[in-house]
Structure 1
Amino acid sequence: MQNYRIGVLLSAYNGDKYIAQQIESIMKQKNRDHITLLVRNDGSTDKTGKILKKLENKYDNLRVINGPNIGLVASFFELLKTGLNEYNFDYYSFSDQDDYWLEDKLQTAVNYIEKESNNIPILYGCRSIVVDDNLNKTEFVTQAKECRITFYNTAIQNIVIGHNQVLNKKLAEVLVKHHQGYDNIYSQDLWIENVAAVTGKIIFDNTPHTLYRMHGHNQLGYGKGKLDRVLGHLIRLKKKEPQKMAKQLDDFVESYKDFISDEEKNEIKLFLCSQHNIKTRIDYIRRTKLYRQTAKETIQFKILYVLGAYCI
């Protein structure tokens, strides 16, 4: 596709420290002539609005939408609807406000997607290099794909991080058409990944094309060292993130039941209904089809399930 158009969707909230640098990296993309950047200012109270206005005057392919604070999930879905209904882009790419993109990120994503059929929903993702506040590399790279990505995997693991997600129009249309509210979506990344898994196809590129900035507000998961990773996992447990994932999964199955096979529905039903006591949890986990990308991670999931971390 020679004349494709790609909409980059960025929800901004009090991001004055890093957002200009991120936008500059988007504007340095190899396929910039194909890009329109839509930024929704989600009720920021810092200097974000002034920075965006200045950048909008600088770049003719930047559009700023100012709105009230509705939260990250709702803001991203509003951007997706705007991109689809008002611009009708061929591709849609989500962006955080504090990362930095390598110049080949979007062109690489488009190249991968164009190799597939346009008749099915497609989600592209890649790895990220983990960096510190000043974009200095740490020793970490985000999760690699080591086995097939199916619904039995995405149900309990988010491998396609939001700032690396690029969608074709078919997937965007499915997301907007079947969306039923935001209250029970704690992670739009994982929601979109699950939608792609049951309606179409997920493509994953193990080569990193973004810098994932770790700072005081997003230390969970990776951090700047091994101790940060351990602490991040403990904080996730304290915040009951496995429980929130299970609740979101329950709502997801209801929303997309027409796309989910009977076998998959039965697996999720067992996952949710076996949680009531430790005996039923042990019985279920012995025969579950759910898995994570590595054997070690799958064992960790099973231990957490038996301990009741996913109980809702």
Structure 2
Amino acid sequence: MIKVAVLMVTFNGERYIEEQLTSILNQKLDDDIALDIYVRDNASTDNTVAILNKYKKENKIKLKLLENDGPAVSFVSLIRETVGYDYYFLCDQDDYWNEEKVRISLDRMKNNKVPTMFFSNAELVNEKMESMDCTVYKKEPPHDLMTIACSGGILGCTVAFNSELRKYILNIPVKKEKIIMHDYLLALVCAAIDGRIIYYEKPLVKYRQHGNNVVGVSTSVRSKIIARLKNIYKKNDVSISEQTKLVLDSLKDYVSNNNANKLRRIVNYKENSLTRLSLALSSQTKYYSFTGSLSIRLGILMGNI
């Protein structure tokens, strides 16, 4: 039997949570797949908990009610606490899964004995689940170590990974002030230990865009410009150097010398203007688009990322 855990963090998600849970419960699964849903609610003040308690009473989910630690810490904590599964899926409260998502994800990850992470494209939809006629990715995003360490770039709500990768996450201390975002951290760990990262080009998730998104996708020219300017001028709460140092210090026994040297460039990039310039102009980073590359490189040059 293949055991699958779906991990979801909720906060004031009453508008969309039932649609999302329905899409997970309606997955087309082979007879040898057992799927469990784990939900951590971060002190919702709306009707979210009442809705979740209904599903818990029907034995459809396993629920924890906790203080609001934010999505990054909450997801990493869920990964650490959920024991005994072969595969793990990250799940947002407001999206909608293609009925083949689990089956396709497992099919692409099967037979991988090394730490493996899977992510897919996603279709952008509005609040009413109406298509916006575009996807998150127009081409395969780069997912080499240096690019991931500097910019992330992997859509967390599409991510699945195997138990081999989870073992390494257990080595990472849960420190809010050191983790930018859970999906970012997961991808960085996988790349740092030379795990396998698999991209699937077709959308397996309807990625809902609305005013309450913690992380959304900029679609208009104006919103893209604003997002790029923020990357350049706004100083991040957690820097790439802090998150990279956390991973490097925690996994030093599992990271090759070559990868360790790359990561040290990022850990130490703020030391002076030359180290910032060196990383900003590095040919080892391969960002998704020209405008994205420009904003990230300028943000690094200013020491704000």
Kindly provide the amino acid, as one letter, of the partner of residue 15 in structure 2.
K
> Residue 192 of structure 1: CA displacement?
0.3
* Residue of structure 1 in register with 2:6 after alignment: 8
1:288 Cα deviation (Å)?
Answer: 4.6
1:196 pairs with one of 190, 204, 207: 190
Instruction: Give the CA deviation at 1:167.
Output: 1.0
Aligned partner letter, 1:179: I
What SS is found at the alignment partner of 1:7?
strand
Deviation of the 1:305 alpha carbon: 2.4
163, 175, 182: which one pairs with 2:175? 182
Structure 1 residues 37 and 228: alpha-carbon distance in aligned structure 2, compared to 1, 3 A threshold: same
Contact 2:232 2:302 in 1 (8 A): no
Deviation at 1:99, TM superposition (A): 0.9
Q: Helix, strand or coil for the counterpart of 2:82?
A: helix
- Structure 1 residues 145 and 223: CA distance shift in structure 2, 3 A: closer
Which amino acid in the other structure matches residue 132 of structure 1?
N
What SS class does the counterpart of residue 207 from structure 2 fall into? strand
- In structure 2, what is the Cα distance between the partners aligned to 1:268 and 1:179? 16
SS in 2 for 1:81: helix
Task: Write the mapping of 1:47-66 to structure 2, written as runs, cut at 5 A.
Answer: 47-58=47-58, 60-66=59-65
Give the alignment partner of residue 88 of structure 2, picking from 80, 89, 92. Answer: 92
Find out whether 1:109 has 2:108 as its counterpart: no
Q: Quick one: structure 1 residues 133 and 150, their matched pair in 2 at CA, closer, same or farther if it must change by over 3 Å?
A: same
What fraction of aligned residue pairs are identical, expressed as a percent? 24
SS at match of 2:247: helix
Aligned to 1:73: 72
8 Å contact from structure 1 (residues 214, 223) kept in 2? no
Deviation at 1:128, TM superposition (A): 0.9
CA RMSD in angstroms, aligned pairs only: 2.5
Is the CA contact 2:244–2:267 (under 8 Å) kept in the aligned structure 1? no
Any idea what SS the aligned residue of 1:103 has? Answer: coil
Q: Please tell me the residue identity of whatever aligns with 2:259.
A: E
Q: Paired residue for 2:24?
A: 26
Deviation of 1:45 (Å): 1.8
Match of 2:222 in 1: 227
Normalising by structure 2, we get a TM-score of: 0.88
Q: Say which of 240, 245, 248 aligns to 1:250.
A: 245
Q: How far apart, CA to CA, are the structure 2 residues paired with 1:162 and 1:296?
A: 22
C-alpha separation between the residues in 2 aligned to 1:70 and 1:147? Answer: 30
Counterpart residue number, 1:218:
213
Q: Deviations over 1:50-89 (max 9, x none)?
A: 011112234x3322222233332232223223321xxx11
Partner SS, residue 286 of structure 2: coil
> Using the alignment, how far apart are the partners of 2:78 and 2:168 within structure 1?
15
For the residues of structure 2 that align with 1:43 and 1:139, how far apart are their CA atoms? Answer: 35
Which residue pairs with 2:82 in the alignment? Answer: 83
What is the distance in 1 between the residues matched to 2:182 and 2:221?
A: 27
Deviation at 1:173, TM superposition (A): 1.8
Asked whether the equivalents of residues 43 and 69 of structure 1 are also in contact (C-alpha less than 8 Å), the reply is yes
SS class of match (1:11): strand
Q: 1:6 to 1:254 in 2, by over 3 A?
A: same
CA shift at 1:203, angstroms?
0.7
Deviation readout 1:85-104 (Å, 9 max, x if unpaired): xxx11111011111111111
Amino acid at match of 1:234: L
Whole-Å separation in 1 of the counterparts to 2:257 and 2:97? 40
User: How many residues are paired up?
Assistant: 301
Q: TM-score, normalised by structure 1?
A: 0.86
Whole-angstrom CA distance in 2 between matches of 1:308 and 1:288: 18
Equivalent residue number for residue 267 of structure 1: 262
